[in-house]
């Protein structure tokens, strides 16, 4: 790639690159409207960016009348960004181009969930990972992390399921690798990846809900993420759906994540089996109940096992209630369900969707589409990498 060191007048290069990152291919006229730059500035800056091989002209789209408008898009593999997602004692590490194409990916098992072990596992693996990249990456990394993440301070305020509180994750990693580091909740990172590169890219008002061992949501207005004061907008797992429900490590009772997650379903099925209920996924009383996982329950429900269906229906009903409340509050066009639980069970999605439609205001929910996420586990790393680039795009030399 050619090195373009010319002066970035009015920050025009940064504005154009950021517009393309967030919106995908755009015409020069659309770039003018989005960036508030003049047509002359757009024309000159796009020419410079094309000369630097950072953007390219792509296939035309036809307007409502007149000549087709040539689209400008980022050039595949022109620059590389890095992101990492931590979930269930595993790092998923990825390198991507600016269009979301995967350059390289690797999973890194972590021996325990102590913060020092988690951080050292990432830093050690990153050195080898970066050395194997053909193209030198931009020196920044986005982290998709569990729990409530203060995006302003780079602190995991609380990840109660794994016993982390007030962890200065950004500071700790930055000290070890001397890169710019940004942290975001892993489900909000996955939602960002869906908005830009997945099933959400054709919608403007989006809610992404990730359901695994915990639950969190990402709220997107005009496909831009809403964070709230510190980055906590979307802590759906800790809304109260049953005031007399089970205790949650956050200190509350009846939180959604104690009732609608993989661990909630596993505990419920084991309890029912101990009470004498029967299921095709537990054919032998000598089988260790602890070996039954949510994937087994989801598959059983999809295949018609009555006990599995009962367990999944109970969990998904609570999620459907939460989805209905979100529709009444933020009025989305689509709700995207991601994480392990929706990936494991169509029945879970069906029940949650049916409950949502019954309980939300009809004028608000009649056209809401509920979609299953398209990004795999790498989506958290992809979204985190793009979030890091959003935060630091103004400091990068293009």
CATH code assigned at 15: 1.10.10.10
Residue 333, sorted as left (phi over 0), alpha (psi -120 to 50) or beta, turns out to be alpha
Q: Decide which of 18, 39, 74 is a domain's last residue.
A: 74
pTM: 0.89
Q: Is residue 4 part of a domain?
A: no
Q: Is residue 27 part of a domain?
A: yes
Tell me the DSSP string of 349-376: HHHHHHHHHHHS-HHHHTTPEEEE----
Q: How far apart are CA 397 and CA 393, in angstroms?
A: 9
Q: Is residue 388 part of a domain?
A: yes
**Looking at the structure, do residues 219 and 358 belong to the same domain, yes or no?**
yes
- Beta partners for residue 102, in sequence order: 96
How many CB atoms within 10 Å of residue 76?
11
**Looking at the structure, do residues 55 and 99 belong to the same domain, yes or no?**
no
Domain that holds residue 140: 80-193+378-395
With 0-12 CB in 10 A as exposed, 13-18 as middle and 19+ as buried, what is 379? buried
For helices 294-302 and 306-330, angle between their N-to-C axes, nearest 10 degrees:
100
**Looking at the structure, do residues 266 and 390 belong to the same domain, yes or no?**
no
Q: Is residue 3 part of a domain?
A: no
Q: Decide which of 74, 89, 120 is a domain's last residue.
A: 74
**Looking at the structure, do residues 164 and 291 belong to the same domain, yes or no?**
no
**Looking at the structure, do residues 355 and 218 belong to the same domain, yes or no?**
yes
Q: Is residue 2 part of a domain?
A: no
For every one of its 398 residues, what pLDDT tens digit does the chain have, with 9 covering 90 and above?
A: 333 334 455 578 888 988 898 888 999 999 999 999 999 999 999 999 999 888 999 876 555 555 667 899 999 988 999 999 999 899 999 999 999 999 999 999 999 999 999 999 999 999 999 999 998 899 999 999 999 999 999 999 999 888 999 999 999 999 998 899 999 999 999 999 999 999 998 999 999 999 998 999 999 998 889 999 988 899 999 999 999 999 998 899 999 999 999 999 999 999 999 999 999 999 887 888 999 999 999 999 999 999 999 999 999 999 999 999 999 999 999 999 999 999 999 999 999 999 999 999 999 999 999 999 998 889 999 999 999 998 888 777 66
- Counted domains in the chain: 3
Q: How far apart are CA 106 and CA 28, in angstroms?
A: 38
Q: Is residue 1 part of a domain?
A: no
**Looking at the structure, do residues 46 and 147 belong to the same domain, yes or no?**
no
Backbone angles phi, psi at 337, to 5 degrees: -105, 120
List Cβ neighbours of 24 (8 Å cut-off, separation of 6 or more). 73, 196, 201
Q: Are 113 and 103 in contact (CB under 8 A)?
A: no
**Looking at the structure, do residues 68 and 88 belong to the same domain, yes or no?**
no
User: How far apart are the two ends of the chain, measured CA to CA in Å?
Assistant: 10
**Looking at the structure, do residues 49 and 101 belong to the same domain, yes or no?**
no
């Amino acid at each position: 790639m050619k090195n373009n060191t010319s002066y970035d007048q009015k920050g025009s290069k940064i504005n154009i690159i950021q517009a393309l990152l967030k919106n995908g291919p755009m015409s020069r006229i659309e770039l003018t409207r989005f960036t508030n730059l003049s047509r002359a500035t757009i024309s000159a800056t796009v020419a410079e960016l094309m000369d630097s091989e950072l953007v390219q002209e792509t296939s035309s789209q036809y307007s409502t009348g007149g000549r087709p408008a040539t689209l400008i898009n980022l050039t595949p593999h022109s620059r590389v960004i890095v992101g990492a997602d931590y979930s269930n004692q595993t790092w998923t590490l990825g390198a991507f181009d600016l269009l979301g194409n995967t350059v390289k990916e690797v999973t890194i098992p972590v021996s325990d969930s102590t913060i020092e072990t988690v951080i050292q596992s990432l830093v050690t693996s990153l050195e080898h990972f970066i050395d194997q990249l053909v193209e030198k990456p931009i020196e920044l990394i986005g982290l998709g992390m569990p729990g409530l993440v203060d995006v302003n301070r780079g602190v995991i305020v609380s990840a109660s399921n794994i016993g982390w509180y007030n962890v200065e994750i950004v500071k700790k990693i930055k000290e070890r690798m001397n890169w710019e580091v940004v942290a975001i909740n892993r489900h909000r990172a996955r939602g960002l990846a869906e908005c830009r590169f997945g099933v959400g890219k054709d919608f403007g008002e989006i809610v992404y809900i990730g359901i695994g061992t915990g639950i969190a949501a990402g709220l997107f207005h005009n496909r831009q993420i809403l964070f709230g004061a510190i980055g906590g907008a979307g802590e759906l797992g800790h809304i109260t759906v049953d005031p007399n429900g089970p205790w949650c490590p956050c200190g509350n009772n009846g939180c959604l994540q104690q009732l609608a997650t993989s661990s909630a379903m596993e505990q419920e099925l084991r309890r029912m089996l101990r009470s004498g209920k029967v299921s095709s996924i537990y054919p032998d009383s000598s089988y260790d109940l602890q070996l039954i996982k949510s994937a087994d329950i989801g598959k059983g429900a999809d295949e018609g096992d009555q006990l599995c269906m009962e367990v999944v229906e109970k969990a998904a009903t609570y999620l459907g209630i939460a989805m209905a409340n979100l529709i009444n509050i933020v009025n989305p066009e689509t709700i995207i369900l991601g994480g392990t639980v929706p990936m494991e069970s169509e029945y879970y999605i069906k029940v949650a969707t049916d409950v949502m439609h019954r309980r939300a205001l009809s004028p608000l929910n009649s056209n809401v589409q509920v979609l299953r996420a398209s990004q795999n586990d790498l989506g958290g790393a992809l979204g985190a990498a793009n979030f890091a680039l959003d935060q630091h795009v103004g400091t990068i030399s293009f």
